[in-house]
Amino acid sequence: MSIAPPEVILVDKTRVSCDGASQIRGGDNFRPAALGHPRVYLEIDEHGYVDCGYCDRRFVLKGGPAEDADQASLPDISEGAS
């Protein structure tokens, strides 16, 4: 059984960055940087999405093959964590 990612963010570009604190929907949900992780840059490939290796946030390319997919059914494509 697959589990959906904790957060899915639709993006317009194939190169994104994640620090676990910014890019949260709405100003009321801002997380302080102390609760984040080192900033990593991620590249969305032909699958149309990429997952942050630190916080599991998923970035999905608008108009890409993963935009309308059931996110829980897609395998993790992680980058960023070492």
Summary mean pLDDT of the chain: 82
In a domain, 75, yes or no: no
In a domain, 52, yes or no: yes
Here the CATH number for the domain that contains residue 34 is 2.60.260.40
- Structurally, the chain folds into a number of domains equal to 1
3-state secondary structure string across the chain: CCCCCCCEEEECCCEEEECCCCCCCCHHHCCCHHHCCCCEEEECCCCCEEEECCCCCEEEECCCCCCCCCHHHCCCCEECCC
Q: Tokens 């959906």 identify what position? A: 4
Q: Tokens 């676990």 identify what position? A: 20
In a domain, 74, yes or no: no
Say what the pTM is.
Answer: 0.78
Strand pairing report for 8-11 and 58-61: parallel
User: pLDDT tens string for the chain (82 positions)?
Assistant: 567 778 899 999 999 999 888 644 444 555 555 667 899 999 999 999 999 999 889 999 999 999 999 998 898 887 654 4
In a domain, 42, yes or no: yes
Range of the domain at 57: 8-66
